[in-house]
Amino acid sequence: MTVAAAPAPPRGSSVDREQSMALAFLAPSLLFLLLAFVTPLVLLLGVSVSGRSGLSLESYAKLLGTGYYLNVIWNSLRLALLTTILALAIAYPAAFALARARGMVRTALLSCLFLPLAASVIVKAFAWTILLRSDGIVNRILIALHVIDAPIRMIFTETALVVGSVNIFLPFMVLPIYAVVTQLDRRLMEAAATLGAPPVAAFLKIVVPLTMPGVIAGVALVFSLAVSAYVVPTLLIGELYPTLASTIAKAYLLARDPQFGAAAGVVLLIIAIIVVTLSARLAGRENDR
């Protein structure tokens, strides 16, 4: 096989022009982000390293050096990981169902996906506590059906936490995958079939790689949201499962230790940045292939 020459680059002038146009369009949002996002972040970074007597890394040492806080970080990661995996497992087929649906069915399915976004996350988390508490609907139904004799503990378990978290963040996984699936040319599957690929092989070799950008985007979104979730763990499991987000809240609201809170915030941010950067890299590679 010969190595192909690189395609001729477009003329320089038009590229320059395009880039300056793009920059002009981006300017308002860049300015906004600078004021509303970068400035507070710089302040946060400053607070996280300023102790009572000047520069100090003790908050980071405490976070990364104590078993309790390492466990807190692990809790956040674990919740994010479980939520992401489960959400992906549910969202991937759902996105295809959504893309295949037509007319009223499609509208109904899309509404099911979008409408919950209009309800506050607090409302949804409370709804789960009502469903799952010991005299809640799920326990009553199970008892009425004689599946169980006495109420089982569902609320304040990790299962409840993950179920609630998946429910709340699911739309953020479905939508990017759905967007990619609707772009998928069905002829590609037919082409694979006429070339001798059985349906499963065609799916793995054609559909999976082509939907990967949507999967990566969904994973990045849901992971970032779940790793920093505050309301969901607080309401569905509480003190049993301290997370980075709840640690930040406690540091600011109860312990009045802004340095520690800021440090925890920076750690959370770094985790999110790593995930998003990795995803962007992966997505870029997918597009380059």
Partner 1 sequence: MSPPDAPHLVVRQVSKRFGAAHVLDRVDLTIAHGELVTLLGPSGCGKTTLLRMIAGLESPDFGAIELAGRDITRVPPHRRNVGFVFQSYALFPHLTVYGNVAFGLKSRGRTRGDIDAAVKRALSLVHLEHLGARRIAALSGGQQQRVALARAIAVEPEVLLFDEALSALDRKLREEMQVELRLLLREIGATAIFVTHDQDEALTMSDRVAVMFAGRIEQVAEPRVVYARPASLFTLGFVGLSTRIPGTVAASGEGRVEVDTAIGRLSAIGNFIVGAPVILAVRPEHLRPAAAPSGNCASGRVRSIVFHGANSLIEIEAVAETTLLAQTANDASAHLKVGDATRLCWPVAETFAFPDPGAGA
- In the complex with partner 1, the residue whose CB is nearer, 206 or 271, is 206
H helical segments located in the chain: 12-33, 39-48, 58-65, 67-100, 103-118, 121-132, 137-144, 158-183, 186-194, 199-202, 208-227, 231-236, 244-253, 258-288
Q: Looking at 52, 102, 146, 187, which residue binds partner 1 (CB under 8 A)?
A: 187
Q: From the CB of 283, what's the least distance to partner 1, in Å?
A: 13
Q: Give the x-and-dash track for 190-219 against partner 1 (CB under 8 A).
A: xxxxxxxxxx-xx--xx--xx---------
Span interacting with partner 1, options 39-47, 63-71, 76-84, 185-193, rule CB under 8 A: 185-193
Judged by CB under 8 A, the chain residues 2 through 21 that form the site for partner 1 are 2-4, 7
Q: Do residues 184 and 206 touch, judged by C-beta distance below 8 A?
A: no
- Rounded to an integer, what distance in angstroms lies between the CA atom of residue 289 and that of residue 3? 15
- In the complex with partner 1, the residue whose CB is nearer, 127 or 210, is 210
What residues form DSSP beta bridges with 50? 55
Q: Do residues 69 and 62 touch, judged by C-beta distance below 8 A?
A: yes
Q: Give the x-and-dash track for 140-179 against partner 1 (CB under 8 A).
A: ----------------------------------------
DSSP state of 205: I
- Rounded to an integer, what distance in angstroms lies between the CA atom of residue 174 and that of residue 48? 36
- In the complex with partner 1, the residue whose CB is nearer, 54 or 196, is 196
Q: Which residues are at the interface with partner 1 (CB under 8 A)?
A: 1-4, 7, 185, 187-188, 190-199, 201-202, 205-206, 209-210, 286, 289
